[in-house]
Amino acid sequence: MKKFVKDLTVKAVEYPHELYVLLKLTDTEPLPECLPGQFVEVKVEGSPQTFLRRPISINFVDREKNELWLLIKKVGEGTHRLAELKAGDCLNLVFPLGNGFSPVQKQGEKVLLVGGGVGVAPLLDYGKYLKEQGAQPVFLLGARSQSDLLEQELFKAIAPVYVTTEDGSEGEKGFVTQHSLLKNETFDRISVCGPKPMMVSVARYAKATGTPCEVSLENMMACGLGACLCCVEKTVKGNVCVCKEGPVFDIDDLTWEV
């Protein structure tokens, strides 16, 4: 897949939560093909502390409006600067990067999409893709509290959404792996994106039930192109680049203790 380095235009900026910003980007020409689960590397201008690009997963691609969405959590100086962008500003992207989530395996397959925190971002695009391709996605989203749940209406428009919150303010109380859905239903496969402890516990559930499972990793990166070998993850094939061979890995290829 051809990769590009391009200035996109910020079309709209939304603030769904005090810690998050949603950038809707567009271009004068049609945006290139991007697969669900791929990511972009954005350049943060004017900050010596933010020397490298920031890898951000693609939240959604709206072909009709020619928009690419980035849902960004404000963590450090770089992401705080991105949150200061205004409509009309330019943002330089290297994209699309990485392998993305698995394509549809068979018609009607039930795919559980588990997300936590900002890890829900790429699941929106993937869920839409799965539904369009004749699969049956189901979302299971975890958050600390009701106010931390992001893009709920958009997820609900695609497929059933099940929720856990740590304080019980919405959905079932606890972590995603404690949700009754996992006791009551079975799935053909699972895709996960979120904090590592969450992904590990979902991977354990998947192993225990014999369900194929893939996870999306977010190791610290420099180039995003498989050149610098900084973002490696240990796999059964040795150290491989998360930016190029991933970010999505089958849990059977990782060396996690699950």
Residues whose CB falls within 8 Å of the CB of residue 251, separated by 6 or more in sequence, listed in order:
203, 206, 207, 213, 214, 215, 258
Amino acid at 112: L
What backbone torsions phi and psi does residue 2 show, to the nearest 5 degrees?
Answer: -70, 140
Q: Is 214 in the site for another protein (CB under 8 A)?
A: no
Q: Is 74 in the site for another protein (CB under 8 A)?
A: no
Distance CA 203, CA 100 (A): 18
Q: Is 90 in the site for another protein (CB under 8 A)?
A: no
Distance CA 247, CA 135 (A): 22
Helix (H), strand (E) at residue 127 = helix 121-132
Q: Is 51 in the site for another protein (CB under 8 A)?
A: yes
Judged by CB under 8 A, the stretch of 16-24, 100-108, 188-196, 224-232 that binds another protein is 224-232
Of 175 and 256, which CB lies nearer to another protein in the complex structure? 256
Pick one of 66, 230, 235, 253: the residue that binds another protein (CB under 8 A).
230
Q: Is 94 in the site for another protein (CB under 8 A)?
A: yes
Of 104 and 228, which CB lies nearer to another protein in the complex structure? 228
Distance CA 100, CA 37 (A): 4
Pick one of 75, 87, 157, 227: the residue that binds another protein (CB under 8 A).
227
Binding mask 15-44 for another protein (x = CB under 8 A): ----------------------------x-
